[in-house]
Amino acid sequence: MNSTPVAITPPTPGMSVPEVTTTTIVPIMTTLSEDILFEKLVQYNDAKATLYIPVIVYMLVLTIVGTFGNILVCCVYCCKPTKSSSHFFILSLAVLDLLTCVIGMPTEITDLRFPYMFYASAACKLLRFVESVTTIGSSMILIAVAVDRFLRICRLGKMISVRVAKRICVAGLFVGVALSWPACFIFGEATEELEPGVWGVDCSTDDSMHGTIFPPLYYGFLGLLFICCFIFFSVIYTKIGLQIWRQKKAKIGHKHNRDSDFSAKSSRAFSNSSTRESHTTDGEETDKAESPAETGSDPISTDNSSEQMNNGYHKKKSGSKDRKFSAISSASVKSGGTTKRTIKVTRTTVVLFAVTVAYVISYLPFLILMTIRSLKKDFEDNLTPAQEVVFKFCVKSYFINNAINPVIYSFFNINFRKDAKKMIMRIFGVCCFCRRNSDT
């Protein structure tokens, strides 16, 4: 096939060549395309945020309850003139919970409101770091609480001193910070392609950490910590429960023997009662007085520690016998020349045990699902909308632990309710006084 050559004639000198301008078309198309993509991203974000409304409301309630509740706990226990080791443990837990309620929960709510448009990488890292510090710090303090309860109940007369309790609380915070720094590198901006050209950004495992062993190691460490704490709590509180059960069983048997001898001794005691009453001394009157254990006083809400409270009680009565009461209200029961020590479980033990149970239950769903998600990469992709909402509730379950402790104190502790009511009335009284002065 023959091709005919085509001659190209160059322009003659002086001949004008028309100019072609195409610089205004491409930028306009690019700008319109970016606007459309951003609108689609907003639509995806708002749809997902609407789905998360129940979770957002749940987080708002926890934030409000936890913030005001933990502030109240801090005010009540800080204003006590004398504090026991239990007071410092509760105060430290309240400070850690308040840190989460003020920093962690609001950031988490923001992440739920902007599930695909969370561009604050620093806030994301701070959120996960604070969550990790409070988790580990609370674990250390609750371990110390369990040891203290064990010593007081199973090793009568022994307890963690106030000085040691302060050191444990400070050490728990430092351990939490020292073990939480990996969260600053593991978490950050996680991008997800919603459709071609539309990319969402979430606060989750950072893109640079995908495919590495660090996220599974981190969640594995938290899971191992949880399992160790769970086993430790189970063993310690089982021993405490068995000790209480044995003491109650022995007390019931002792009461039965005492009642059988009561009828034989009652006539003799009655005949000698007038003689004894005429020669009663101040020291004998002290023996008849109620001890702090018998009055039901609660070391968790009294102004003095258990040791100081009991020592002060006996110092007020001259000529009283030298007796010591532990914080678990161990009492001396005399029968037939022998002395038996029985245990009366105070509200302190009940409250701190309830706090430990709440800690375990609240973290269990979160750690299980996070471990599954780390091992199965497409776990969330196969969830229906309803299942996704349930999933979000479960992975936020550990926030219950940060808000429920003040509720536990109020429910189980009458004295705390009284102290909290006095504190609230005092605050309202000061506010009303300041308002009247400002009006005048």
**What is the pLDDT at residue 15?**
53
Percentage of residues of the chain with pLDDT beyond 90: 21
Q: How far apart are CA 84 and CA 89, in angstroms?
A: 9
Confidence of residue 255 (pLDDT cuts 50, 70, 90): low
Strands 338-342 and 331-335 turn out to be antiparallel
Residue 78 CB contacts under 8 Å (≥ 6 apart), including other chains: 91
Give CA torsion, residues 315, 321, 324, 329, to 10 deg. Answer: -100
Please report, as a single letter, which amino acid is at residue 375. Answer: L
Q: For residue 376, is pLDDT > 80?
A: no
Cβ proximity of 406 and 69 under 8 Å: yes
Please report whether residue 260 resides in a domain.
no
Total of domains in the chain: 1
Cβ proximity of 92 and 174 under 8 Å: no
Cβ proximity of 150 and 356 under 8 Å: no
Please report how the helices 399-412 and 105-113 are oriented relative to each other, as an axis angle in degrees rounded to 10.
Answer: 130
Please report whether residue 180 resides in a domain.
yes
Residue 405 CB contacts under 8 Å (≥ 6 apart), including other chains: 69, 70, 73, 93, 94, 97, 355, 358
Please report whether residue 182 resides in a domain.
yes
Please report whether residue 181 resides in a domain.
yes
Q: How far apart are CA 396 and CA 402, in angstroms?
A: 11
Q: How far apart are CA 337 and CA 330, in angstroms?
A: 19
- Pick from 126, 108, 103, 105: nearest CA to 180: 126
Q: How far apart are CA 108 and CA 110, in angstroms?
A: 5
Please report whether residue 186 resides in a domain.
yes
Q: What is the overall mean pLDDT for the chain? A: 75
Q: For residue 67, is pLDDT > 90?
A: yes
Q: For residue 283, is pLDDT > 70?
A: no
Confidence of residue 102 (pLDDT cuts 50, 70, 90): very high
Confidence of residue 216 (pLDDT cuts 50, 70, 90): confident
- 325 burial (CB, 10 Å; 0-12 / 13-18 / 19+) is buried
Please report whether residue 68 resides in a domain.
yes
Please report whether residue 3 resides in a domain.
no
Q: For residue 83, is pLDDT > 60?
A: yes
Query: Can you tell me the mean pLDDT for 79-105?
Result: 88
* CATH code of residue 226: 1.20.1070.10
Q: What is the extent of the structural domain holding 357?
A: 32-242+347-423
Q: Give the predicted TM-score (pTM) of the model.
A: 0.70
**What is the pLDDT at residue 299?**
39
Please report whether residue 63 resides in a domain.
yes
Distance of CA 279 to the CA centre of its chain: 57
pLDDT in tens, 113-161: 999 999 888 889 998 899 889 989 999 999 999 999 888 888 876 888 8
Q: How far apart are CA 97 and CA 293, in angstroms?
A: 31
